[in-house]
Amino acid sequence: MKYLLKNIACAIVLLTVFNCATEPVDNSQELSQTTQSQDSNSVAPAVTCNGQSPKARITNNGTIDVNLEIYNESGVLVSHEYGVEPGEHSDWKTFVTGETTFVVSNVNADKIIVLDMDTCMIYDMIVGDNNQLTSSQPTDL
């Protein structure tokens, strides 16, 4: 009875130690990449590129809703995201390679960007707090 509390505490510690499992390093890196690609604030999908189609999305840091339309070189609407609210971003939109026209609009203005998009490229457009597009250049994966 004298050492009962110490024995119980020791048993709890031992059970905890023996019930812990380790995970191989390879699995933790895959989990990290999967988590990064699912993170809504990540800049780009964490994927190695093997000829994937180009992707684009828009992040709205402004104060009014924005719309994104993506047209191919023939002028056909291939993807869109309407009503991206302030503080939100669209999903990544996939489209074919070639000359691509991006139309970003809100109730105040339209901005048209024409880029030659190739495989393994992403274009992450950002609307600033002044409701103006502060886009950067496309990025290679």
Query: Which CATH number, 2.60.120, 2.60.40, 2.40.420, 2.40.390, labels domain 55-140?
Result: 2.60.40
Q: What is the dihedral of CA 80, 82, 87, 90, to 10 degrees?
A: -20
Average pLDDT, integer, range 26-54: 57
Q: How confident is the model at residue 6 (pLDDT cuts 50, 70, 90)?
A: low
Mean pLDDT of 18-31: 48
Domain boundaries, the chain: 4-38, 55-140
Which residues have CB under 8 Å from 75's CB, separation 6+? 101
Q: The whole model's pTM is what?
A: 0.66
pLDDT value at 37 more than 50: no
